[in-house]
Chains A and B, each alone.
Chain A
Amino acid sequence: MAKPRFCVVGYYFQPGEILVAAEKARLRNFKNFDTFTPFPVHGIEKAQGLKRSSLPYVSFVAGCAGLMAAVGLQVWTHLYSWPMNIGGKPLAAIPAYVPIFFELTVLFAGVTTVVVMFTHYCGLPNFSKPIFHPDITNDRFALAIEVDNEDQIEPVKKFLNEIHAQEVHHVEGRL
């Protein structure tokens, strides 16, 4: 049993405020903190020091896989598995295969992107993590800082009040 961890949460009501708060939290070098917002706040990545997602590479690879699948399927079936005289057209009637090349590329890339994004990057679905406040998906902006043990809670709360958190409390659980 790992020992319990705590999250100290401070709330704001303006995107601007959370930006500042996130900035300060980053400068304070908290090991593990994050902001929670009802909508993607412009510039928060920079403030929080998140680096650009590597998701595009995933999509690219998936797309290539889709293309390969399309080429393989069509060429293999028509040239090797079951060569047939169909309307006197050559077995490798490449122009006729293009539409499916494209479609499968898009299909693979699109679906993979979203699935990987949710599961791998966002760690969803996950119903166990604490929801700090129901209004976060409504009109609240939260800065949550994870601390290792209870005696760290107070200093962090103090810090949050310093940076004008309108409301501060802590909950047990991981970020």
Chain B
Amino acid sequence: MSVDLIEQLDILRRSEEAAVTTEPRKLWQSIDELGADFNSLKAVRGQELAVQQEEAGPTTMDLSRRKFLQFSAAASALVATTACTRRPVDHLVPYVKKPEGLTYGVPMWYATTASNGFGVLVKTMAGKPIKLEGNPDHPVNQGGLDAATQASLFDLYNPERLKTPIEVKSGKSIQWAEVDAAVKAATSEAQVESVRVLTGPVVSPSTTTSMNSFLSSSKGTWHKTQDLPDDPIAEAINLVSGQKSIPTFRFEKADVVVSVDADFLGTWIRPLEFTKSFSKRRKLHRGDANVNRLYVFESLHSLTGIAADHRMSIKPSQQLGIILAIGSEVSKSRSADAGASSFFTKYSAEKLSAELGFSLDLVKRAAADLSAARGKSLVVAGGHGPHALELQIASLALNSILGNIGSTLDFESPMKTGMEQGNDFESLLSDMEAGKVSVLFIQGVNPVYSSANTRFKDALSKVKLVLSLSHELNETASLSTYALPESHYLEAWGDSEIREGHVSIQQPVIEPLYNTRSLAEVVEAWDGRTGNYRDIVSSRWQKIYSRGDFRSWWMDQLKTGAHSTGSSRKTPAFRWAAVTPAFEKLNLQKSSGLELVLYSSVGLGDGSRANNPYLQELPDPVTKVTWDNFAGISPVLAAKMGLNRSHYSDETPNILASDFASDVVEVSVNGKSVKLPVFVQPGLDENVVAIALGYGRKVAGSLGTDRGQDANLFAVRNSSNKLQLRGQSATIKKTSDRYELACTQKQFGLQGRDSDILHTYTLKEFEKTQGDHGHGKYHIHPTFSIYDSKEFVYPGHKWGMAVDLNSCTGCNACVVACYTENNVSTVGPDQIAKGRHQAWLRLDLYHSGDAANPDSTFEPMMCQHCDLAPCETVCPVLATVHSTDGLNDMSYNRCVGTRYCANNCPYKVRRFNWFQYSDKLGYQVEKTDPLPMLINPDVSVRTRGVMEKCTFCVQRIRSETSDRMTRVKDGSIKTACQQSCPADAIVFGDLNDPESEVSQLAKVTTGFKVLEILNTKPNVTYLPRVRNKESSV
């Protein structure tokens, strides 16, 4: 579609040139143009007469030849000019009949499924997808959508996508036919087992079927791996039950949750799903007193740790010890599973804590709470430690003892991660090295980048035909025979089943922009079948849902995007005897010195999204660092090594540092070493150095290449031959270099301003406040004004927002939602390091308490739309004024950019366009076609030199209420951030509507306004963070 648009444009251009050069008469095509020219002719004649009169005077008219020639010259000149100024209408296509069901300017919504299986709603304008939102009808994500999936819309329009198949050696683009022929030739002569397919997790039943049929016809094998290996949960379960499945974790049912290095709110398995279910138990302010309690023992400061009520930072080597200690405590009392408790009886918490050197206080508390909440508790563990497998078995056993199997661990409708079969990358690798592989087809993974060593890279040369299907050229694709372009999931048909019995169909919302294919289409073609993949998907489901009217079922599927059916799975029986030997020869000893912690960042994950500016610019939730990875260390260690602690220094919290350049250290793990800038952050054990994976890509487009350092080389295999990312002993050495990390927040201390900025309670304190109707434990100074501000009333709507800090997990989904909805520019590392990021909505993070185990709280900060807005009074040109429905409006085209409003905004939410940011990605790469299609036409793109800020998504409000008086149904307007929030922490609505949820929440006595003492009268109410502790520690 874009293509013929472009054609039209240059046709138009050519014709305009023609219009200028050609003789005007030729352009007369229709009668009205003729009329137009009559007028221009009349004009000309008028001119003539006028000229005659003044030339010849009132007397007779005697026209010399000279004069005549002059006149005719003038006349023709006039005719020519009048003709030139008209648009050449002959090539323009009139908008005669509007396309079926499409009105330009009115968005169309489609329900479909993202590649990771989550249900999304796609907003399309004139046929172009411009926004992704969570599908409320989808049983798993239930309306929320994580940052990465939202940002994946960029990949559709990314100019650096592979557009046609490419023969890598010659670098010339070829046709699919040639590829298909090459594959057919290779597979026909290939003998058994020599055709291999390597993919990441595949959650699509249809694709699986297609793949299997291709493999059976080509006598091939299918290997699955993950660039970020998932914890061996399935394997553990398989060992004890013989059933390969991963249960669904029912956090919503758990009163007590214990996590050992499982960052289930940030990166562990399926954070979006877990955030949704976990936050259901954090709705204290919506009248649900039944809040859960979360214990976190972690070697990294993660989102889960920040959400925790009790947190203890540990070393990776202590993971298993913690679980065993808890287990031994728990199994002292009645057990629901005698067999399982046999694990723990031989351990004693005291002995373990002595051996491994962790404090028992929290362990005992956790154990006590767990045993008190049998069947209503949940223990999760992860983190690729030295004993990954044993850790999973132990935590499973612990859950079994607590009787959580079947209640909070749901085996009847288990997860489908696509990796239940386990990771068999190793076997492929050895076969390749043995030369047993002749054809290798890789999709969805990038082993050349993500593997710790060069074995795979070298082995690739032994394979005759290597085909790689990917969105962009990556390290693996650039080493294969053919680099094949993959369709975006918005361009292809498919389906997914990420929880047993919960199916969602993936329908394309746009024709493939380029000559691309989806994974299924590729294998279908190689299997000799061509044609629309929709038929294959639908026919497959027709077989399954033969009963009833399939067509209406199918239509309903496409409408709602999701469908739930029961599953026939049963909860398995566990035979612990099978695994006890593994624990017999298990020896846990105290490790000395530094331990390495590798983790995947919330934004970049395994690094496959490295070329996505939204995710590169997305601040790491805990450190607020963008565009780079770093070596995270604790302030204590930094002090010992004499490193610059400007970002977090627990000694002089009251003075802003002047130098934010980090010292660069050399991190070495068994021989290999990497140079990284340090980031000093609280919440880490003194003996831990944490590094994010997914950086240091070598072939990742213009934005992703060589950002940060690649830490994959530190991964090792542990005793049980599982990939180990944490617990390797590491050493760091200070170098003379310094490097300034692009950090969007430079100060993490509250400076004792809690009562004005951020209210937090322990549950006990909170319950005390419920009686009195005061402001809780915080004293808010009364304010008054010399003006009576009653002059301005809001007769119709008065928009407001409530932010539930108790639910917010800081997952960043809202931030990306805001970027994509409001065309916010990415500005790149240099600008951010200066302090010039453009985010309209940011997640402030404040630490308090001791450096090792701080109480950390997120505070989403956006324009507060104050009734008495300080920014408005000082704007000299009235570029920002108040609307009649209580919004703080910003008119960009009136703004001259004095920045006075930003100075006078106590919340510092106003963003200034220091340069023409909107022209470039990350202020580095010029935006080229088709990127402009990504722009939301309802929101104006800001030019250089103007101020911008959160508008409460005014475009959404106006599209619902053209006049500003008629009531709208509460919840019919959702701001982008609210819609995407998996924790339902943001509520937006009409404060004048007494029924609306937001006006209810605004009345909560413990709710607070930020900086209320300034009497700015904000319209955003914050509901305090409440920590479910026995006492405020």
Contact = CB atoms under 8 A, between A and B. Distances in A.
Interface stretch (B214-222, B303-311, B665-673, B867-875): B867-875
A167 to B, nearest CB: 63
Contacts of A93: 787
B1017 interface: yes
B789 A88 contact: yes
B905 to A, nearest CB: 11
Contacts of A84: 878, 881-882
B868 A88 contact: yes
Nearest to A95: B786
B1017 A88 contact: yes
B870 A87 contact: yes
A86 B882 contact: yes
Contacts of A88: 787, 789, 791-792, 867-869, 882, 1017
B115 interface: no
Contacts of B881: 84-86
Q: Which of A84, A86, A90, A93 has the most CB of B within 10 A?
A: A86
Interface string B784-809: 00011101100000000000000000
Interface string A74-97: 000000000011111111010000
B884 interface: yes
A88 B1018 CA distance: 12
A90 B787 CA distance: 7
Contacts of B866: 87
Contacts of A89: 787, 789, 868, 873
Contacts of B871: 87
A87 B791 contact: no
> Which residue, A85, A86, A91, has most C-beta atoms of chain B within 10 A?
A85
Interface in A66-120: 84-91, 93
Interface in B840-895: 866-873, 878, 881-884
A88 B883 CA distance: 11
A85 B878 contact: no
Contacts of B792: 85, 88
A85 B884 contact: yes
A86 B787 contact: no
B873 A87 contact: yes
Contacts of A90: 787-788, 791
Contacts of B884: 85
A84 B880 CA distance: 11
A82 to B, nearest CB: 8
A85 B887 CA distance: 11
A153 to B, nearest CB: 58
Nearest to B875: A86
Contacts, number: 39
Given A84-B881, A86-B882, A91 B791 contact: yes
B835 to A, nearest CB: 26
B872 A86 contact: yes
A87 B868 contact: yes
A86 B867 contact: no
Contacts of B1017: 88
Contacts of A86: 872-873, 878, 881-882
Nearest to B788: A90
A91 B884 CA distance: 14
- Most chain B CB neighbours (cut-off 10 Å) among A86, A87, A90, A93: A87
Nearest to B867: A88
Interface in B972-1023: 1017
A87 to B, nearest CB: 4
A16 B317 CA distance: 108
A87 B889 CA distance: 11
A154 B883 CA distance: 85
B501 to A, nearest CB: 54
Interface in B592-606: none
Nearest to B1015: A88
A90 B882 CA distance: 13
Nearest to B904: A87
B341 to A, nearest CB: 66
Nearest to A91: B791
Contacts of B787: 88-90, 93
Contacts of B867: 88
Nearest to A86: B872
A18 B285 CA distance: 95
A89 B867 CA distance: 10
A93 B785 CA distance: 13
B867 to A, nearest CB: 5
A91 B792 CA distance: 10
A24 B44 CA distance: 79
A87 B333 CA distance: 64
A87 B900 CA distance: 14
Nearest to A96: B873
A147 B1017 CA distance: 81
A87 B868 CA distance: 4
A76 to B, nearest CB: 15
A85 B821 CA distance: 27
B790 to A, nearest CB: 9
Nearest to B873: A87
A89 to B, nearest CB: 6
Contacts of B882: 84-88
B405 to A, nearest CB: 59
Contacts of A87: 866, 868-873, 882
Contacts of B872: 86-87
A89 B870 CA distance: 10
A88 B1015 CA distance: 11
Residue of B788, B869, B1017 with most partner-chain A CB within 10 A: B869
A128 B309 CA distance: 95
B618 to A, nearest CB: 33
Contacts of A91: 791
Contacts of B883: 85
B372 to A, nearest CB: 52
A85 B878 CA distance: 10
B786 to A, nearest CB: 9
A84 B870 CA distance: 15
Nearest to B872: A87
Nearest to B794: A85
A88 B1016 CA distance: 9
A93 B872 CA distance: 14
Interface string B632-650: 0000000000000000000
Contacts of A85: 792, 881-884
A169 B219 CA distance: 131
A90 B866 CA distance: 15
Interface string B113-130: 000000000000000000
20 contacts: A84-B881, A85-B881, A85-B882, A86-B881, A86-B882, A87-B866, A87-B868, A87-B869, A87-B873, A88-B789, A88-B791, A88-B792, A88-B868, A88-B882, A88-B1017, A89-B787, A89-B789, A89-B873, A90-B787, A91-B791
Given A87-B868, A88-B789, A88-B869, 15 more contacts: A84-B881, A84-B882, A85-B792, A85-B882, A85-B883, A86-B878, A87-B866, A87-B870, A87-B871, A87-B872, A87-B882, A89-B789, A90-B787, A90-B788, A91-B791
Interface of B: 787-789, 791-792, 866-873, 878, 881-884, 1017
Which 7 pairs from chain A and chain B are nearest by CB? A87-B873, A85-B882, A87-B872, A88-B868, A88-B789, A85-B792, A87-B869
